[in-house]
Structure 1
């Protein structure tokens, strides 16, 4: 079994997921995991598809032939599982340029591996100030979690970090 990791972007219009899922199904692929979003008039996402070895290249060719999408396809021989020491961090701070770089750098310097990051901007309820919120799934040695939180909170006075396991 091969696993395709597919990232895509397309000008948004109805039916894009149906088009993608039909192509995957027609070539015996099995849609595994995905994350898709509407961003500034575009539809973008990443997904993992499992496909038998004998249909692997046919599926790749069919996907690449789809003119509606800009695609990048990577092939893995098997799905990788998250390490047992995964932690989810919920981060909130006043938004500012470079905040994602600062957060990712602090995680890396403390020995963490950023597995998933979902971030948004929104106006604070009472002040209207633009707030940055993120949910970050990381893999880290359990002994390093406290130091990582301290490093993240030291980035700015207003950065709050909540942990869930």
Structure 2
């Protein structure tokens, strides 16, 4: 069994997901995980598909041949590592470089950013832009979590970190 990770980028139009899912189905693939978005009139997505070795090459060829989409593909074996993963919610006043600051702290404290979903929202009381992120971070052991949270909170006085349980 192979795992195929594809990233998709192109002008948004109806039917993109149906097209992708049809190719996966035709090659007996199993759609594992995905994140699909419409951003500034662009369709952007990433999908992980499990597919047998015998169908992987033909499926990849069809996916990369889709007209008007930039499709990047990586084929690998499934990840069988059992990482300790901590989920954090981060809120701060929005500013340039906040993601760079957060990711540097995570890396310097031995974490690996596994997933990051972020957004900008207006603060209810002031309409100031807030940065909000939902992050999954792999750590070697649970003792790292407190150190990591403390380090993140040193970025600025307005940054709050909540550990999701």
Contact 1:2–1:56 (Cα < 8 Å) also in 2: yes
Match of 2:97 in 1: 98
Cα deviation digits, residues 112-148 of structure 1 (max 9, x gap): 0110000000111110000000000001121111111
SS across alignment from 1:67: coil
Q: Measure the CA separation in 1 of the matches of 2:67 and 2:161.
A: 42
Match of 1:137 in 2: 136
Question: With structure 2 as the length reference, what TM-score do the two structures score?
Answer: 0.95
Contact 1:153–1:160 (Cα < 8 Å) also in 2: yes
Q: Measure the CA separation in 2 of the matches of 1:11 and 1:82.
A: 36
Match of 2:79 in 1: 80
Paired residues in the alignment total 164
How far 1:46 sits from its partner (Å)?
0.5
Matched, 1:7 2:7: yes
Q: CA 1:108–1:43 in structure 2 vs 1: closer, same or farther (change >3 Å)?
A: same
SS across alignment from 2:32: strand
SS across alignment from 1:131: strand
Q: Measure the CA separation in 1 of the matches of 2:81 and 2:90.
A: 21
Q: Measure the CA separation in 2 of the matches of 1:121 and 1:29.
A: 35
Matched, 1:59 2:85: no
Q: Measure the CA separation in 1 of the matches of 2:25 and 2:62.
A: 11
Q: Measure the CA separation in 1 of the matches of 2:164 and 2:24.
A: 35
Q: Unaligned regions of 5+ residues in structure 2, if any?
A: none
SS across alignment from 1:17: helix
Q: Measure the CA separation in 2 of the matches of 1:138 and 1:83.
A: 13
Q: Measure the CA separation in 1 of the matches of 2:6 and 2:57.
A: 14
SS across alignment from 1:106: helix
Match of 2:149 in 1: 149
Contact 1:83–1:139 (Cα < 8 Å) also in 2: no
RMSD: 1.1
Q: Unaligned regions of 5+ residues in structure 1, if any?
A: none
